[in-house]
Every structure is written in structure tokens, then in C-alpha cells.
Structure 1
């Protein structure tokens, strides 16, 4: 088993690329794994925190003039920009309203917990990824519901206190598990077995992607055109948000190449699974389809763009 996980860790982007398609190809497996969504969501974060360079994390924690504006950009500026762009598209081109709503909500969400693992796999700034992701996840209960109501006239079916409590519990479990694992691990074990940990993270990310595909196959058979449009929209939105995040990180926040690329990954890869939980039964299935298909670019683009990420990260500051 350890040898298998090590192999998965050495070929992480390939497994992410191919694994995300399994949920579409094997619908019964997606239905079987669906109850484990929360576990599959938290495990990659816990494993990434185990490997985190805490000295670098504390360095970013001491720079609130960087981290707090970055979080405000992700949770407030991005959804407002996306809404402003999609409003005329929706009015004049007849873009489906559920798809418009889903894309705006995606932009209003915090980064996925897997961005930390992705940053580690790509050799980018994992410390920046984790501090921005954690702060954004903690703050999103106070930003997402008002934006959903104001911009889209959607009432999130969960109290702020309940939503905040769930998020705090999830993040707390991940941090607690990581700290406990670090204390119990022999000295140097985590560094020596980094690929093993990466492999376990990739397996959990793939299991999450499979589980969230439950119900997509039936929709694909019934309305293939809508599913194709949702998939194309997910890729375009992810890429454009990554470009926007990179540009803001590089030329507004004046970050180095690895950190600016990390800002791009944080901006484009949003926690749509968390938004599904927040909306509960208020989300129409057409929106859920976008949230599911939105996993495809998040899992496939790191493999497709890995050479570009690494070439750009190696450029001089």
C-alpha cells in the first residue's frame, strides 16, 4: 500500500487528471462514495498541513496588509466582477440563469482545501495557500449569504452561526489532526515520506471528485447540451479567474512568481462543495451540475498546465 501511495504521489497530476473522470464513467461508484464527501474534503487539507513549513506560515501571518486584502479580493471583488460580466451575457445572450447564479456563487466561495496540496505538488507557495484558504473559509459565512441575497436574490438556507460552526469544526479538525500527526511522527519522517503523503492527498481528492459526480450521468443523458455548456463554462471561469488572480498578485500585491501563481490557483479553484452544503435544498439541480462539472478543471488543469506553472515559477522576480 505504501508503495502504491508513493507511486501516486510521484504521478499526482496524472492521477488527478484521470481520476476525476471516473465519477462520470462509473455512476454507481459516485453514489456509493457520496456519503464520504466531508471526509474526502478534509483529508487533503489535514495531510497538506502536516507537511507545511510553519515558519513560512507565521511569516505570512505577520503580514496582514497582504493576507487580508487577498482574502477581500477573493470573497468580495471576484464575485462582483463576475456578476458585472455575466449580467449582460445573461440579458442579451439568454445564458441560463441557474448557470449564471452558480458561476457567481463559485466566485464568492473560498478556495478549495485541495489548493494547499496542489501548491505543494506544483512546488508553489503552500504557506500562502493555507493562510489565505483558512482565513477565507472562516470569513465566508459573513460574505456569501449577503452576496447571494443581494446579487442573485438567493436566501442561503442556513444560519450564519450554524454555517460558521460547521466551518470552524471542519478547519479545526484538520488543524488538530495535522498537529497531532506531526507530534506523533518520528523526526524527519514526514520530510522523508513526502511523496507518500502527496499520494494519500491525491487519493482523497479523487474520491471527493468521484462522489460529487453523483447524479450527473443521468443529467448528461437527459440534457447533454446543458451539461456541455456547464462544463465549458467551468473551464473558462476557472482559467479567467486564475489569470485575474495571478495578475492581481503579481502587479498589485507585488508578489514573486511562485506566490503570484498561488494567488491564481486560489482564485480559480473555489470550494463549490462547501457552497452546495450552504445552499442545502435551495440549489436547483442545474446549479448542482455546474458545481460537479466545476471539479473537472480543478483536477485536470494542474496536470495540463504543470509545465507552464513550473516555467513561470522559475522566472526571476
Structure 2
């Protein structure tokens, strides 16, 4: 299970306890330990999630600078000129407008924040400074075959048809990704989730979150919420996560069937109204059964036991992750 799949597992788990405290406070800083669940706090600290936004930004920019410098050294060894680029412009860790899934006024306007969301209608920020690749003149001076060799040295050979997935993606490997892959590996190290070294732990975490809705305490809580939803005219949802997923599924289907952009599409407006109605019923039922507090209590207790049962594996992962930070 690679890091992306693990992130998906964590997102799925968060739906079980919606809406727990976010990973960052209202001021945009790093979450305090008490705001994170036991397992999330363990893994967040390993990945540097204990840094505030300014610290994360500074860390990212310093890493990118070092990567570019190493790429230049590597390309010189391959016989090419390469000027390090400033890739940090425009990158921001800002959390944007506040997300308030427990606030009735917010939910009345945005529902789950899928069809509509805070800032949706605001104009996109513009950057008057046009990015200029410092290598473009040099690359333009090369012959066609030399340009191909330049990019292969920088990024590695293009994937073969056998290496491509049906959707056009492929498994990235730093060892075959040229100077850029080598430089990233030198700075970021080996991702402990994708290395396979901690496969037993990643499998255990994935199974843990998959099975959490079936725990008797969580199942009872969801049953009480589901009964309330049925009484409110929203039957058919066994878990709170299913309510949010139903809107996501409908929205994906809407976009999959779009052949052209339609401004102010009545079909999308109707889905937005449906989302708000469902989210408000969901909010009422979560408040009625004290879903937030109870799900947090259950989740924290289960995660504490998981951490205790897997402490040796978690400590080994954390050490490897911190070594690559």
C-alpha cells in the first residue's frame, strides 16, 4: 500500500468520525496533540505534521532548492547545462476559508461543500509575474536528438506501453526517473509506505479503518443515526459516511455525463439543493445522537488500543519516516 493509498484510508476513516477536529486550528497553525486522534498524531508527527504552516512552507522551499541544485550537478555529470529553477513561487499551504460542517448557517449554504463551497465564486488569484524557465534558451539551442537526450537525462525514459495503466498513469520509480528522481530521493529519502518494508503495518492500518464501522459501539451509534435519518425522510443510509458519499457519487456521475460546460446548469443547482437538504438532516441527526462526541470517544479508544498493540511497528516506521524528513 503506497502513501497515496494510505492517505485514502485515512480520509475514509475521517468520514467515520465526521466532523472531528480538523488537522489544523482556526489560525492555520499545526494541530495540538489533543486535536488529533492517537494514531493520526503518531503518524502526523512522523511526517512533519507537527509543523505550523510557516514552518512547512520554509521546509518545502528549502527542500526544493536543494533538489534543484542536485539536479544541476547530476545534469553536468551527464554533459548538459542545467540552471536550478525557483519552483516555490505561488506555492502556499493556506487553508483558505474556514470549513464548518457543524455550523447550521454554513451547512444551510454549502451542505457538505461539494457542489458549492466557500470561495467558489471568487475570481482566481492572478500572478503578474510570468514564470520563465532559465533553461529554455539552452534547450532551444540543442538539436532535436540532443533535446530528447536532455529530457531523458533529467526525467528518465518515457514509460513503455507495458508500463502504462489503462488511465495513462504509471508506477513512478526514482531509480528510472533521471536526475530529478535521484535528486528527490537524495533529499526526501525512501517513502516508508511505498518501500514495502512496513507492509504488515500498512495492511494492519488499512484493515483497522475498514473494520471500524463494524465495531459494536460504532455500529450502535450509526444505527441510532440511521434511524433518525429515516424518521426525517432520508432512509437507506446505514452509516453517516454513506450520506456524504451519495452526493459525491451523484456529482461524479453528473460530470462524467457532461459533454460541454453549461453555466448555471439547473441540474447542478438541483443537486446542490438536494445536498443541502441531506446535509441539514444529517446535521440534525448527528446532534440528536451526539455523533461527534461519541464517535470521537469510540475512535480514540480503538486507536489507543491499536497503537498499544502495534507500538514496535509504529516506532520503526516513525524512525524511518523521520530519517527521511
TM-score range, shorter chain: under 0.3
Higher share in helix: 1
Larger radius of gyration: 2
**Which TM-score applies when normalising by structure 1?**
0.24
Higher relative contact order structure (alpha carbons within 8 Å, sequence separation ≥ 6): 1
